[in-house]
Every structure is written in structure tokens, then in C-alpha cells.
Amino acid sequence: KAGVTQTPRYLIKTRGQQVTLSCSPISGHRSVSWYQQTPGQGLQFLFEYFSETQRNKGNFPGRFSGRQFSNSRSEMNVSTLELGDSALYLCASSLGATSTDTQYFGPGTRLTVL
């Protein structure tokens, strides 16, 4: 069974631009969560989707948004990029609710904002 895939793996953007990251969960998994990982703040929860519905959102500004499609694939979007958005963005999928199920992580997208 294929694991969680994330595209692209690396991105370089400049301040003020917008970026879209993609995540394909493990086949059969219906829940997708996104995390931001930085050296200073560690792993921080962004949001979680289940059956195309956002069930919870972390403490991030409205510039961070996401969605999930009917095939469970998910995208997250960051608008008006800031230098502080440089991070590794990790996507995780699970069979059911992330509060009870194990999350399986993708390799991440490393975003650099110049």
C-alpha cells in the first residue's frame, strides 16, 4: 500500500506570494491533518479534515486555509507569504478520527520564503 504522498517536496517563494501544497492520503484513509514544523515552534497543528469537512483548526491566521476533496486528497493554501512561514509542512492521514487513530505522515513539503 502506498504511503502518504506530498507534492511538491520543495518550494521557494518570495514574500507576498501565495502557495498551494498537496497531500494524497493512504488509500482508504478519510482523515487528513496538516502540521507546520519549525525549529522554534516545533510541530504545530494546522487543521484536520474528515470527509471534506474541516473538523478543527489550530491557532494560525486566516492566511492559512485548506480543503479536502471527495477522494480524500487535501490541499492547503498559504496566502500573502511571510518570512516566518518558512517551514516543513507535514501532512498525515488516518483511517478515522485523529484523536483515536494512528496518523501516518508524508515526507513533507519544505517551504522557503525569501
Partner 1 sequence: AQKVTQAQTEISVVEKEDVTLDCVYETRDTTYYLFWYKQPPSGELVFLIRRNSFDEQNEISGRYSWNFQKSTSSFNFTITASQVVDSAVYFCALSEVSGGFKTIFGAGTRLFVKA
| 68 near partner 1, rule: CB under 8 A | no
Q: Which of 11, 26, 78, 90 contacts partner 1 by CB under 8 A?
A: 90
Amino acid letter for position 76: M
| 107 near partner 1, rule: CB under 8 A | yes
Query: Cell triple for residue 99?
Result: 484523536
| 85 near partner 1, rule: CB under 8 A | no
Q: Identify whether the C-beta of residue 76 lies closer than 8 Å to the C-beta of residue 65.
A: yes
β-pairing verdict for 109-113 and 10-13: parallel
Q: Identify whether the C-beta of residue 37 lies closer than 8 Å to the C-beta of residue 108.
A: yes
Least distance between partner 1 and beta carbon 110 (Å): 8
x-or-dash pattern for partner 1, window 29-58, by CB under 8 A? --x-x-x------xx-x--x-x----xx-x
Least distance between partner 1 and beta carbon 16 (Å): 27
| 86 near partner 1, rule: CB under 8 A | no
Q: How far is residue 68's CA from residue 88's CA, in Å, rounded to a whole number?
A: 20
